[in-house]
Structure 1
Amino acid sequence: MGYYTPFVAPKGKDGGIDVIAYRDPLGTVTPRIKVQIKHREETASVHEIRQLMGLLQKDGDVGIFVSSGGFTADAKTTARTSHVHVELIDLNRFITLWQEFYHKLGDEDKARLPLIPIFFYSPVI
């Protein structure tokens, strides 16, 4: 998506932030994005969304919460009505974004979730 990612947390405890992304290499241009990722079956709770919101302390900070298990209704409401920008990305939206920006990824990133195009014959009628 054209962002610089100077910080990607190793597996394990990360203090609530898994990825930090900037529009420029120094992080001086907003938005500055802080990403929390949960890959699990259960939905992300309102408590988890509020934890991310608490880490958005500077003007121009944006939170993205990626949850393969989706979000509770309260979590969605909290993100939608918050005074800070928190974007929620479930598994379906993540896959859609991955497909959309796949051609821009480096080989290392493509190897994390490789895609193979499939073509269908469509006769002209």
Structure 2
Amino acid sequence: MTQPVTYSCSSPAAGAVADGSVRRPIRRVQGRHRQRDGGVDVVAHRDPLGLEPPIIKVQCKHTSVHQSRPDVQRLIGTLSSGEMGLFVTLGSYNREALDLERVRRDMCLFTGADVVGLTLSRYDDLPQPWRARLPLRQVYVADREPEGR
């Protein structure tokens, strides 16, 4: 039996992404130059001109250390009205950062496990160039406990 994929993000926007209910894809993505000050790494828009909300600002941390509330607050400080924040880390978040996410409807925190889970659950929806860069094959394994027992 397949286990459901769960995500640590409590915001409505992340729930919509995770369950596939976002009907209009991201149309334009701007990568930023590497910033050593913890600035925004990616700005994503739903329309080709980048004018239509929500604008999503993404902060990426390629580290396995715990991210703290001040780390998340720095990304929040870059958000204007109607913009969303997505903080992605290979590590995890401390309790204060997770508490902040719960009260901010414009902020979502993703861990490395969330990214892997989302990639696996939505793999068939990835554009072909991404599937070519990350070739995966589904493998079936006998379930030790058949359904219905």
Range class of TM-score, shorter chain = 0.7 to 0.9
> What is the SS of the residue equivalent to 1:3?
coil
RCO comparison, higher one (Cα < 8 Å, 6+): 2
**Residues 18 and 5 (structure 1 numbering): CA distance in 2 closer, same or farther, change over 3 Å?**
farther
Gaps of 5+ in 1: none
C-alpha distance in 2, partners of 1:101/1:14? 31
Gaps of 5+ in 2: 1-16, 18-24
Structure-2 residue corresponding to 1:99? 120
**Residues 32 and 101 (structure 1 numbering): CA distance in 2 closer, same or farther, change over 3 Å?**
same
Aligned 8 A contact 1:5 1:19 in 2: no
**Residues 8 and 14 (structure 1 numbering): CA distance in 2 closer, same or farther, change over 3 Å?**
farther
**TM-score with structure 1 length normalisation?**
0.80
Give the AA of the match of 1:80. R
May I ask how many residue pairs the two structures share in their alignment?
Answer: 121
1:77 lines up with 2:99 in the alignment: yes
Give the AA of the match of 2:93. F
Report percent identity of matched pairs: 30
CA RMSD of aligned residues (A): 2.5
> What is the SS of the residue equivalent to 2:93?
coil
Deviations 1:20-51 (A, max 9, x none): 11122122322110011112110111111000
